[in-house]
Structure 1
Amino acid sequence: MPRAFKTCALLLLSAACLWLNPPRAQAAQPALTITAETDKTTLGLSDSLTLAVTVTSNGADVPEPHLPSLPNFNVYSSGQSNNISIVNGRVFSSQVYSYSLTPRFVGQATIPPITLNAGGRTYQTDAIQITVVPAGRAQQSATRQTKAVRPVRARPARRTSGQQQSQQDALSEEETAFVKASVSNKNPYVNEQVNLTVRFYTAVPLMGNPQYTPPTLHGVLSEDLPPVRTGTETINGRAYNYSEIKSALFGAVSGKADIGPAKVQYQPRTDDMIDPDMPDFFQRFFAQGLSGAQSRETASSPLALEVKPLPEEGKPAAFSGAVGKYSISSSVDVKELKTGEALNLIITVSGTGNLKTIAPPKLPDMPNFRVYDMVTSLNMTKSGDLVQGSKTFKTILIPKASGLLTLPPVQFAYFDPSDSSYHSEETRPLQIKVSQGAPQAQPAVYASSGNPGASVTTLGEDIRYISENKPRSPLSARLQAVNALGRANYIPLALFALSALIVLVRNSGNNDQALLKFRKAYSSAKTPAGAAQKFFAAGQTAQGAAALSEAMNTYLCGKLGCPLGSLRLKEIEERLKNASAQVRPETIERLDKLWQELELLRFAPSQADGARLKQLPDDMLELFRTLDKELRK
């Protein structure tokens, strides 16, 4: 196939692809990666592990990952940290989400892939395999080894079945296990931290760890306060083991806030000690296996908070809703720079409270600087049952003038529930030394350094603004009108490619005379065949026979590519068979019969049948059509 033909075919294919999938202008999506790791892969049933999920992005907005269902673990959020850096105007961020996982059963457990959806794509981590062993297995093994070297002692007296049943009957289901919930403050201020404590008490051994379902909350925000605590407590003269779970609550609005029941599902073990010498040992052994797997559920009583509004008296102008105890600081990454260069202003708010709700502080008026939007990062911990940490705000500043410039203090106000009053903090002023860079042919801007008599120099604007209201030129208007046509713009390209393809196909056929004769053999033979039919109708048999011979010669010469004057019928038939394996024997027989009739007609025209003469041209053309199909290239 000629190179030009291939090129045109590719051009037509490209036009079709553009029509089906037109290019769309899309905003560049930030590159994301997500990884997950645990601090251990083997732990005891009474232990816990830390799962850290790290998300990195080439942007400030880092989406939160989605944890899959973890039926083998109780899951608690233990905090998060965020690191954002700005390099040459590009923002890079890394967010770490930490979770505390407590196993519920002994055996192999899997943490499935953790997913994250961003920009229409789904990212995921690898699965993590965890092995959970019985609690205190190492200590139990050591105890068994110690017992093996001790002398055999007398077996203690066995408890009778009646004694065991009497002890079980002494404990009702409510006394066997129950849940208590309490709050540290029932009348907090809006956004003040209140600790919710949920304790699950049990007086009997359990099969595995219980499954905890946190209460439903209305009007409050919640943060987990891991880890899970355990201990013992005597209630009404009976010893109980307990597991304690804490959460930090923050009232979202003033008024009543409801805390629903906390629920726990557990599987108690019965007949914990069965003596093999007891007469009903097998009956009690199998009964224990069946009854030990029965699940029960217990729940705490609902609670309510009466959230107080923040006082209006004494509220500072800089107050934006922060409640707790905080401090504020500021810094810059460079203190000396040239005109046209940028610096990062970093403002950090640290303390205890609901850091997620802290809004960016309002920056003071800085006429000597161009100020860009802020990006935020959060580092939160939960030590000592307090939500605490820091929130960092970063922005880019570009000086408009040279000299000794001052960044004024940034103010921050918060409400402290411990003394029911507002407090104001502010950063220290920062001095920036700006020297003049390369001069630019732009309007000059003058700025004062803040010191009387200090020298003031000029510098050019580092950013040229785009005029959005500038009238469009006629050419721009036409181009926008063409662009609005969308896919219709590809129609001329497709038509051009199709026309070029047709021309190339025709030219390629014209350049190959043998191929051209092969393709036009039937149409060339139709003309003399039609003339023969007219001759036969006029009674001119000899002329009609000559016309049919010309039609046969024209067709076979075009198909076989050779003169037929010196070829016999058998040679023609062999060439047809060699030309294509699709030529059937029936077609060869029809050609042989028609050839014999034509020879008889040429040499003995007076013996021809008139009815047969009228049918002969049609039979010949029908034979040619059959050969066309079987010799098709």
Structure 2
Amino acid sequence: MMRKVFSIIIFVFMLSIISTAYAKKVNKEINVVISVDKNRVEIGNHIRLTVGVEGAFDTDIPELSVPESFSLMYGPSVSTQTTIINNVVKVFRGFMYGFSPSENGKFEIGPVTLKYKGKRYTSNSINIEVVERTPFESTIDEGTDRSGKRVDINKMVFVELVTDKAEAYIYEEIIQSFKLYFQKGLPIDDLDYVAASTKSFLAEKLGDERRYEEVRDGILYNVIELRTALFPLVSGKIEIPPAKFKCNIIIRQQRNRGSMFEEFMGGGGRRYPVERSTEPVKLLIKQLPEVDKPEDFAGAVGKYTMDVLAKPAKVKIGDPITLSINIRGEGNIQTIGEPLLAPDGMNNFKDYDYETKVTITDRGDGIRGEKLFHKVIEPQSEDVDFIPGISFSYFDPDIETYKTLTHEPVPIEIEHSDIETPIRLSLESAGLAKGKVKILTKDILPLMTDLYSFKNQGVAIYKRPVLLSIIFLIPILIVVACVYVQRQRALLSNDVGYARKKHAMAHAQKHLSNARGLLQLDNPPEFYATLAGTILKHIADKLNVTSASVTSDNIYDILEKRGVSNEVIKGLRQCLESCDYGRFSSGQLSREQMESTLETAEKVIVQLEKQL
């Protein structure tokens, strides 16, 4: 009995500790932010105001501060979301309102105040401009209500092309960013991006696309960013031409209101084509200074370090020594020139050309990596005590100075060896070796006077057709294999679509493994979201389209046009519907249901892999 009571006490104690830790983790920081769907509105139309509270789920309704001419149309509509990532609990509670202004002018909404557990929190403020009802340029008449509400597309979707610097030296790294802004919650599909021409640059892609949120003029946008590292090849004033972007946006219709799921996924709306172009980017590219330029400078610009290794350090005359020189740092790693060995110290060496290997280690905020140089040298004299010193020069654009990395001579030891004069079995050169070797030519020949009497003990090779066929086929097969491997490497390197399709299954299996981990953690919302995202991402990779252009609204039509069987499409539909139900259902789903959905997803991905 005492043992049972003691167990209950320990259980209650542990439960209180966990609850306290959870509460501390949840309430660690409170942040209040307000945002609107537009900051310029016509009289009679309405704006959607959202008050977001991060870090607490049991707060009261915030105290709003809005102009008197703003009439409340609806709200607050309250929603709560909790996520657990890496044992960190994040809580978000949103309060949504609708206001309609009745007077024109410039107004300020906010700050919003929130009282929570004896503390007072305040939000940011947002400026709203109210104008008379006049048609906007580039607007769409929804025709969905009696007030004749119109939508300003320019504020819904726009693009930017920027660089991290306006001036740079030739060969210096410039980070170019293409950013697509579209209002949060706006469904878009059929994305088509035409990158700006970079014919005056060497271009290297930087990582995967970035996705985040950003507030512009009080409006919350989703942002998709594509970044490229540019290395200018010419100096002077260079203009990067505009990048172009096309997509379809979906404007929800209010007259024929669909289901809640259709509205969430962008269904039940009308598509409008949108085209956007960025402004050109003007750059000033400067020549590298001639003052203090080292003689061995070969055009490297950036920041670098150098390591040197020579093996073996103890050899005989004529034996090879492998000299390894590793240049690492940030810049255009591909075009780094060869380091210089002191010319006056190479007289007693025979050297061969460099072999190089380039490894890019980081494409995050710039190109970082290393270039490994291998050089074979052979000492030709016993008087050699060291490999000559090595130098490598580069230009540092941050401090606008040339720098030279040097490595001290590498000591080596040459072992003594007795070199014998080679025997020459020819009469013509007998005089050169007179007194040193005995010419055996005349002594050997008499022993082999009847050379034609020797016969093969086996069958001659030309009488074995199978063996001859194998001998001739082996080089052909090797050449064909090498050509195939080289072609595959070229395709994977140069054809992005082919590479995505080739690696799609491997990526899908990796994400399915992550989903299985969430299944073990018993986290249904994250599990179903990961599962649905994995399927849609796999389809996007197989079709070589952006992930944003593949949605539950259009995927079935796309697959049908691609010739995917109705059975597979039906299985896909059931799987995605199960995922959506699991993500948005308030009820708790069983472990068996989650495992069944995972098995269905794996089966669908295998079938799609075969048919796409």
Give the TM-score band, short-chain normalised.
0.3 to 0.5
Q: TM-score, normalised by structure 2?
A: 0.42
Structure with max Cα Rg: 1
